[in-house]
Amino acid sequence: MSRDTTLAKVGEFKPIDLLAVAAAREVTDGDVVFAGTGLPMLAIGLAQLTTAPTAVCIYEAGSVDGRPISLPTSVGDARCIYQASVASGLFDVFNQLQRGVVDLAFLGGAEVDKYGNVNTTGMGKYGIVPEKRLTGSGGNSDINGLARKTVFIMVQEKRRFREKVDFVTSPGWRVPKWPSGEMVPKKEVYNKAFRGGPEAVISNMGVFRFDENGEMYLDTYHPGCTPQQILENCSFDLNISRVRGETKAPTLGELDLLYKTIDPEGIFLP
Amino acid sequence: MAKPVRMNLKEAVAQIPDGAMLTFSGFTIWRRPMAAVYEMIRQGKKNLHLVEVNGGTHSDLLIGAGCVKIWESCWIGHELFGKIGANLARRAEAGEVIIEDYSHVQILYRMAAGSMGLPYLPTYASMGTDMLNPAYDHLKIAGLRDGSNPKIPKKKYEIVSDPFYGGELLHMPAANPDWCIAHVQMVGEEGTVRVDGQLYSDSEAIKASDNVIIVAEQVVSEDYIRREPTRNLIAGHQVSCIVEQPWGAHPTGCFGCYETDGTFIQNFFKSTRTQEGLDAWVKEWIHDIPDYETYLERIGITRLEQLRANPAFGYSTTIKRGTR
């Protein structure tokens, strides 16, 4: 089936469309992908319909390689296991993760630091009486710790791209080693179980990657944004010297798949 | 263990004492024992200690209603229908509930170790995170790791050397809740449990617990459920009592039976951000209603039929879910 490969112009797509498309482009055909609720479901769905038809999707509630014909609203959804190879549970799929089966995972978070440490637990001072409680880690931290590559999808704001996150929920490239809490390279903590870490952060303004020292740099900026605007929405000293140019816009064919095939009901793409 | 006893919901829930350590079936907003949760609130349970692989609408409601003292888990929220567990957040920020944070695998392995009769399980999961920060070991800070409660381990975790292949990893202590309340699709008269769809962490939660209440959409004859033993998850000797309660997981979903009632959960989330809002909700949907049958009458047959799953798919094909 040939699809329209014309690039959409600024104004012809929403920021959320570009997030889904940019995330889908991170999937390599044949990857075993761990996906969470929301945008990750759009991204893996789009990848499977375009460049990665043999990618396998695992949902953490216990669904392996489902072929849903109706978009799930969460990973526990009955829709996840339509035409799945196996319907199991958390113990099976998390053990696969620990075993080293997972190539790529899509994750989210409330705030991120320059090493890719992500917080989904609490904002402000944390402790027995927290200042502002969020959802908690869920599988985010396990998946980020043990998958080969992870891709974060985040909202770009100064208060969310921080020098230091208030709580290290999910481990990036430099992490606290307990009991001392000294920040060390992730490899020192994970030993033999070290397989990789955050590959990219995709925000509504740009795509960020990590250098040899595990520090974040700007890779591409989205159409309609500038590196300067991104710097203004980041509170750490972001490296923009390696920027390659503009993020490739969604194609009209990709937009068509997202709105007509993957989310025709308008659940995540209203 | 003796054959499980058939009870009604009120009798089953009345067995759970204040202060009990409790866990549940399901995953976030799927297959939660909501009818039993409403009944616990109606009976005024206090100081419950929840240890659950993940939280959801059921635990946020129990916490909001003032039934819970300690919540040990990794996540709480209502998925698409409410981004955080606002009742847990409010009560924790007021110092009324103690949170002990784990990752999903860490808390799962605690339950799995409990289900295997082991004192702990090793894992690499979520090392190098603040879940292991001693400053956030809240049960220790509250003085609850002194050994006086046999259900609370003296340490949250231990980092140990791998004695066989080298390197370091975590040991997570077992959890053995006093009670598990599980909502499932089907149970036999002698307690054989059948779960359809994703199994979540039901097997680990049920087998780790000292006492198990099975609330089922249907109670069927043992002869019927034993015709296909490969479809069954738990044998009756690991079940304490069984309750029949159709639609008993509403507003959470139940694979093959009914959809999650997203509108209902969204309204719960929006109207219970404050304690006054939560109290009004609990009065309207729990205290002003004598039992679950009356609750279902209030939801109404039209809504329930919209939620009902199409047997070809295991989910509803008639419910409106998005904006188109």
pLDDT tens digits, residue range B61-94? 999 999 999 999 999 999 999 999 999 999 999 9
In a domain, A6, yes or no: no
The answer to whether B104 contacts A90, with C-beta atoms less than 8 Å apart, is yes
Q: Specify burial of residue A268 (Cβ count, 10 A radius: 0-12, 13-18, 19+).
A: buried
Which among A129, A137, A189 is the nearest to B101, CB-wise? A137
- Report residue B1's pLDDT band, with 50, 70 and 90 as the boundaries: low
H or E segment and range at residue B277: helix B275-282
Predicted complex: ipTM over 0.85: yes
- Region A196-221: mean pLDDT is 98
Look at chain A and count its residues.
270
For tokens 């591409």, the residue is A220
Sign, CA dihedral B106-B206-B49-B114, equals negative
Q: b/e for A29-44, b at 16 or more Cβ within 10 A? A: eebbbbbbbbbbbbbb
In a domain, A19, yes or no: yes
Percent share of chain B, pLDDT over 70: 99
Residue A60 tokens read as 């953490």
B118/B75 Cα distance (integer angstroms) = 25
The answer to whether B74 contacts A178, with C-beta atoms less than 8 Å apart, is no
Q: Is A53 left (phi over 0), alpha (psi -120 to 50) or beta?
A: alpha
Under 8 Å between Cβ of B215 and B35: yes
The CATH number that applies at residue A87 is 3.40.1080.10
Total domains in chain A come to 1
Please confirm whether the linkage preceding B251 is cis (ω < 30° from 0): yes
Q: Specify burial of residue A125 (Cβ count, 10 A radius: 0-12, 13-18, 19+).
A: exposed
| Residue A91, C-beta contacts closer than 8 angstroms, at least 6 positions apart | B108, B112, B201, B203, B204
- Structural domain harbouring A137: 15-262
Under 8 Å between Cβ of B30 and B253: yes
In a domain, A139, yes or no: yes
Q: Is residue B26 less than 8 Å (CB to CB) from chain A?
A: yes
- Region B157-161: mean pLDDT is 97
Which residue of chain B has the CA closest to A80?
Answer: B198
**Start-end of H helices in A9-89:** 15-24, 39-49
* Beta bridge partner(s), residue A56: A32
How much is the pLDDT for A1?
54
Residue B34 tokens read as 């909501």
Active site residue A199: no
- Region A49-70: mean pLDDT is 97
Parallel, antiparallel, or unpaired for β A197-203 and A149-154? Answer: parallel
B34/B264 Cα distance (integer angstroms) = 13
pLDDT of B29 strictly over 60: yes
Which among B29, B124, B323 is the nearest to A98, CB-wise? B124
Q: Name the CA radius of gyration of chain B, rounded.
A: 20
How much is the pLDDT for A224?
95
Q: Is residue B101 less than 8 Å (CB to CB) from chain A?
A: yes
Q: Report DSSP state, residue A261.
A: I
What mean pLDDT value characterizes chain A? Answer: 97
How much is the pLDDT for A82?
97
User: Closest Cα partner for B265 from B49, B34, B63?
Assistant: B34
H or E segment and range at residue B24: strand B21-24
A44/A57 Cα distance (integer angstroms) = 7
In a domain, A178, yes or no: yes
Which among A91, A98, A176 is the nearest to B133, CB-wise? A176
Q: Is residue B118 less than 8 Å (CB to CB) from chain A?
A: no
**Residues of A with CB below 8 A from B312's CB?**
none
How much is the pLDDT for A51?
96
**CA B39: distance to chain centroid?**
14
In a domain, A269, yes or no: no
CATH number of B30-173: 3.40.1080.10
H or E segment and range at residue B106: helix B104-116
Write the pLDDT tens digit of every residue in B208-262. 999 999 999 999 999 999 999 999 999 999 999 999 999 999 999 999 999 999 9
The answer to whether B199 contacts A62, with C-beta atoms less than 8 Å apart, is yes
Which has the higher per-residue pLDDT, A132 or A1? A132
**What are the CA-CA distances from residue A57 to residues A65, A170, A196, B99 (Å)?**
5, 21, 19, 32
Write the pLDDT tens digit of every residue in A16-25. 999 999 999 9
In a domain, A193, yes or no: yes
User: Closest Cα partner for B85 from B101, B67, B62?
Assistant: B62
H or E segment and range at residue A33: strand A32-35
pLDDT of A2 strictly over 90: no
Which residue of chain A has the CA closest to B161?
Answer: A191
| Residue B163, C-beta contacts closer than 8 angstroms, at least 6 positions apart | none
* Beta bridge partner(s), residue B21: B49
Look up residue B193 and give its amino acid: V
Domain ranges across chain B: 30-173
How much is the pLDDT for B3?
82
The answer to whether A186 contacts B54, with C-beta atoms less than 8 Å apart, is no
- Region A13-18: mean pLDDT is 96
**What are the CA-CA distances from residue A209 to residues A116, A122, B161 (Å)?**
9, 25, 33
In a domain, A246, yes or no: yes
Residue B109 tokens read as 């392995």
In a domain, A168, yes or no: yes
pLDDT of A126 strictly over 60: yes
pLDDT of B157 strictly over 60: yes
- Region B115-140: mean pLDDT is 98
Q: Report DSSP state, residue B25.
A: S
Residue B286 tokens read as 């729990």
* Beta bridge partner(s), residue A198: A150
How much is the pLDDT for A236?
97
Under 8 Å between Cβ of A136 and A180: no
H or E segment and range at residue A123: strand A122-123
Q: Report DSSP state, residue A135.
A: -
